[in-house]
Amino acid sequence: KQEVTQIPAALSVPEGENLVLNCSFTDSAIYNLQWFRQDPGKGLTSLLLIQSSQREQTSGRLNASLDKSSGRSTLYIAASQPGDSATYLCAVRGAYNAGNMLTFGGGTRLMVKP
């Protein structure tokens, strides 16, 4: 059974720092990996989706990498801002479990201090 782990569980940084969030998964047979942002009281917003054949995806100050063989992904946030404060979730879509599309990690709660 696929398991997804995110480290660290919580992170507090001063504004302007570059930071890396980590995600690892146990089964490398995946179709894609998706990073989400969750704000308190709100739903999940998709940030980046990386297909299994890709190594990385970029959107603005965000860059996500994928190393499928080692079961790892990282989300890099450049020049962090207080508005980046949120919980970040990674989720993988397994290649063989047709219906259970996404397995989520526990999330990293990020706080960026002004």
What's the CA gap between 9 and 67, in Å, rounded? 21
Contact positions with another protein (CB under 8 A) in 49-78? 49, 51-53
Stretches 12-20, 55-63, 77-85, 92-100: which one binds another protein (CB under 8 A)? 92-100
Distance between CA 55 and CA 70 in Å, rounded? Answer: 12
79 or 101: whose CB is closer to another protein? 101
CA distances to 4, 6, 17, 34, 86 from 11, rounded to whole Å, are 18, 12, 12, 20, 10
Q: Which residues contact 85 (CB under 8 A, 6 or more apart)?
A: 110, 111, 112
Minimal distance, residue 76 CB to another protein, in Å: 20
Nearer to another protein, 75 or 80 (CB): 75
Does 34 bind another protein (CB under 8 A)? Our answer is yes
Our separate counts of H helices and E strands in the chain read 0, 11
Per CB under 8 A, which region of 12-20, 21-29, 39-47, 62-70 contacts another protein? Answer: 39-47
Contact positions vs another protein (CB under 8 A): 31-32, 34, 36, 41-46, 49, 51-53, 89, 91, 93, 98-102, 104-107
